[in-house]
């Protein structure tokens, strides 16, 4: 179970944890829950080890050794079967893999609504820009400050696409070439994290066809990552605005990131930003 590199104390703790974890997951199920006849009368709770083994298609002795945390060969296929039988959710399944010394498989993307609490946080971050993007860089929540400062409009659904195809947005980015290279490198790094997700290749192919600049930068194979940095915007009415940004992963929304921007203390950005956001919003239509 990958315990050779662990200390004796760490292996003991892992044995204790996997034993108690699997016992607790068995205890919350009944034979009826998993479609088995109880035999000898209805049991109110608790699958037996042999019942889990039969349903998972493994030997009783092997499952017993797994539950005891013994040094045995464990495959991802078997852990999937055990997870299915015990009806483990995503977090529990990942926990079992880690306890067994295996890397959990990446979960398929799940479309989830941005929680109301997170939407309130984004709105209350104003007058500072904030937004949430998903794993494919789609904009899923944007506050008014981000719309006003960065120019995101109704037709802007994806950060990557807008950066390279929206001429209005492009005109506001200072040092555009450097920013473009960094963005392409970040997108390539994200794509490598999800090798089984075809949407990244589709997006890259579409962008190569739509933007010669993207195609040229993509061919460089630059890879990068930026959890924080400085963003310069040349706003048509407010002039240059400088922001320090921070990127935060959202564990409840796998692959999603929260982008928070704070005005740089350069002497002009805070006051310019305040004045910009005090302007009335343009009327729709």
pLDDT at 201 over 70: yes
Give residue 285's pLDDT band: very low, low, confident or very high (50, 70, 90): very low
Q: What confidence tens digit (pLDDT) does each residue in 11-43 have?
A: 788 888 888 999 999 999 888 777 665 555 555
Peptide bond into 85 cis (omega under 30): no
For 105, the token pair is 């498989």
Give residue 171's pLDDT band: very low, low, confident or very high (50, 70, 90): confident
pLDDT at 280 over 80: no
> Where does the chain hold its CATH 1.10.260.40 domain(s)?
8-99
Fold of 116-278: Beta-Lactamase (3.30.450)
- Identify the CATH assignment for 8-99 out of 1.10.260.40, 2.40.50.90, 3.50.50.60, 1.10.10.10: 1.10.260.40
Give residue 117's pLDDT band: very low, low, confident or very high (50, 70, 90): very high
> Where does the chain hold its CATH 3.30.450.180 domain(s)?
116-278
């Amino acid at each position: 179970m990958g315990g050779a590199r662990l200390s004796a104390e760490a292996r003991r703790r892992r044995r204790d944890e996997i034993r108690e974890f699997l016992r607790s997951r068995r205890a919350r199920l009944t034979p009826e829950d998993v479609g088995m006849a109880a035999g000898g009368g209805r049991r109110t709770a608790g699958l037996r080890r042999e019942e889990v083994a039969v349903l998972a298609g493994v030997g009783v002795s092997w499952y017993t050794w797994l539950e005891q945390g013994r040094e045995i060969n464990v495959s991802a296929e078997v852990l999937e079967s055990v997870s299915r039988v015990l009806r483990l959710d995503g977090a529990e399944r990942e926990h079992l893999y880690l306890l067994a010394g295996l890397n959990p498989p990446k979960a398929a993307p799940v479309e989830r609504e941005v929680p109301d609490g997170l939407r309130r946080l984004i709105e209350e971050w104003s007058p500072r820009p904030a937004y949430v993007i998903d794993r494919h860089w789609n904009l899923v929540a944007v506050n008014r400050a981000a719309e006003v400062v960065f120019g995101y409009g109704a037709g802007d659904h994806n950060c990557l696409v807008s950066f390279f195809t929206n001429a209005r947005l492009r005109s506001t980015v200072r040092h555009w070439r450097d920013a473009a290279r960094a963005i392409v490198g970040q997108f390539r790094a994200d794509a490598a994290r999800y090798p089984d997700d075809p949407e990244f290749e589709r997006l890259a192919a579409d962008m190569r066809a739509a933007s010669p600049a993207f195609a040229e930068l993509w061919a460089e194979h630059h890879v990068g990552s930026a959890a924080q940095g400085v963003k310069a915007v040349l706003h048509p009415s407010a002039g240059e605005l400088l922001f320090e940004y921070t990127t935060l992963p959202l564990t409840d929304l796998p692959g999603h990131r929260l982008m928070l921007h704070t005005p740089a203390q350069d002497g002009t950005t805070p006051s310019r930003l305040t004045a910009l956001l005090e302007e009335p919003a343009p009327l729709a239509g």
